[in-house]
Structure 1
Amino acid sequence: MTIRLLVVDDDPLVRAGLSLMLGGAEDLRIVGEAADGAEVLALVERLAPDVVLMDIRMPDVDGLTATEELRRRPGAPEVVVLTTFHADEQVLRALRAGAAGFVLKDTPPAEIVAAVRRVAAGEPVLSPAVTRQLMSHVAGAPAATGGDARRAAALTRTSLLADREREVAVEIGRGRSNAEIAASLYMSVPTVKTHVSRILAKLGFNNRVQIALLAHDAGLFDEDDPEPAT
């Protein structure tokens, strides 16, 4: 299968570099480029990419706004965010909006290609270790404006989950893999996968990072819980 890719970045040199290195992969095809988030929706509708590689910082419509608008549409392509930071509020906002993950702009080309392939196959881009880093950032950050409203909304959504599903959501929020969750909750890996699928369906989420963020927003963790092993 050929993966159709749309590259979005306001820097023409970055776009050219990405197109050059990604276009060299036999199973990737660059179907279009955009210099601003304002162009994304029309290009997606016309070119039907499988994956959008999206820069965050652009002068007119930024990648966050474009990601939020795009992921609200049915049948939207997956989004991988391009950033210069491992974990900041903008990356977290993109993940909450449904981006499948992020890659740093200085990531080696082979790793960016691998990330695009995983996303196109419906697999997570973020490793458990990176998820733990993000969750640590969320836990240590000062409460943002509207934090109380976000927590109330998150609690309302988590109330849709059965008790066992909520336990799995908490383990996902700790950055644990399916195997680690299975060992912690004394269930099989296939059972964990089933619970994760049900959680995604009930919450209307695209990936497990959104589950992790929701668990933190809802305050489902005890403050004295030990940090998971890395």
Structure 2
Amino acid sequence: MSDEKADEKAMTEHTGQGAGDGLRVLLADDHPVVREGLCAILESADGITVVGQAGSGEEAVALAARLNPDIVLLDLRMGDMDGVAATGHILRQCPGCKVVIVTTYESDADILRAVEAGAAGYLLKGSTRAELVSAVRGAARGETVLTPSLAGKLVRARTVDAPPLSERECEVLRLVSQGLTNAEIGRKLFIGEATVKTHLLRAYRKLDVTDRTAAAITAFERGLL
């Protein structure tokens, strides 16, 4: 097959009977054999239809805009636009879509980048058929799906990348989680209300959040409280 014909075949969409039934999935990988394998696995599962295939990140973004699939399975490393960048574009134009990264790379940094971009999951290409199908269905239900061996890596990556909270910031957030107001926290810790606000603002920056509730929840999820 010539390069020109290969390029024409890289970006395809399925419009046959049944394409609107069940979960609609878009596949994106720069290796045709991988796309074909993923397609065969998913098409053999009840209630899942592959509505399109893309050979690059840019093609995935274009197809997602046109097809508005329920789930997009994205390779992490593609030449023109990687899976993380494509995830951001897809979620901005298709807010209801869920993106799951499927890759051979399992570094802590890669996993964290994908999840922070909004990906609903991160799977290794060595995952079993059952894990792949389960991940697609789980992502559609709003779950975060990870290859089991990667869960610990994600926790470690979040912990290492996040600046540590001070002891006082942790104290303030513990009291926030108990429902206390800033004034009540100040009285309990024998500090001014303005000082409480300062500790909260510093915690917001470190945790990359914008309000006190999100700060308390995030700190708890990261095992800081």
TM-score normalised by structure 2 residue count: 0.65
8 Å contact kept, 2:23–2:48: yes
List aligned pairs for 1:40-59, cutoff 5 A: 40-59=60-79
Give the aligned partner of residue 102 of structure 2: 82
Give the aligned partner of residue 215 of structure 2: 166
Q: 1:40 offset after TM fit, Å?
A: 1.7
8 Å contact kept, 2:100–2:121: yes
Mapped pair 1:122 → 2:139: no
8 Å contact kept, 1:87–1:134: no
Q: Which runs of 5+ in 1 are unaligned?
A: 144-150, 175-220, 226-230
Q: Write the distance in 1 (CA, Å) between the matches of 2:58 and 2:92.
A: 15
Give the aligned partner of residue 59 of structure 2: 39
Question: Which deviates the most, 107-116 or 152-161?
Answer: 152-161
Give the aligned partner of residue 157 of structure 2: 137
Mapped pair 1:19 → 2:39: yes
List aligned pairs for 1:55-66, cutoff 5 A: 55-66=75-86
8 Å contact kept, 2:108–2:156: no
Q: 1:74 offset after TM fit, Å?
A: 5.2
Give the aligned partner of residue 208 of structure 1: none
Q: Write the distance in 2 (CA, Å) between the matches of 1:123 and 1:109.
A: 18
List aligned pairs for 1:187-226, cutoff 5 A: 221=224
Mapped pair 1:105 → 2:125: yes
8 Å contact kept, 1:87–1:137: no
2:135 is aligned with what amino acid?
A
Q: Which runs of 5+ in 2 are unaligned?
A: 1-20, 164-201
Indicate which of 45, 50, 53 corresponds to 1:30: 50
Q: Write the distance in 2 (CA, Å) between the matches of 1:7 and 1:135.
A: 27
Q: 1:136 offset after TM fit, Å?
A: 1.3
Q: Which has the higher contact order (CA 8 A, sep 6+)?
A: 1
Max radius of gyration: which structure?
2
Q: 1:126 offset after TM fit, Å?
A: 3.6
Mapped pair 1:92 → 2:109: no
TM-score normalised by structure 1 residue count: 0.64
Number of residue-to-residue matches in the alignment: 167
Call closer, same or farther: CA 1:97–1:85 in 2, change over 3 Å.
same
Give the aligned partner of residue 4 of structure 1: 24
Q: Write the distance in 2 (CA, Å) between the matches of 1:170 and 1:52.
A: 30
* 3-state DSSP of counterpart to 2:101: strand
Call closer, same or farther: CA 1:105–1:129 in 2, change over 3 Å.
closer
The percent of aligned pairs where both chains have the same amino acid is 38
Call closer, same or farther: CA 1:32–1:172 in 2, change over 3 Å.
same
8 Å contact kept, 2:204–2:210: no
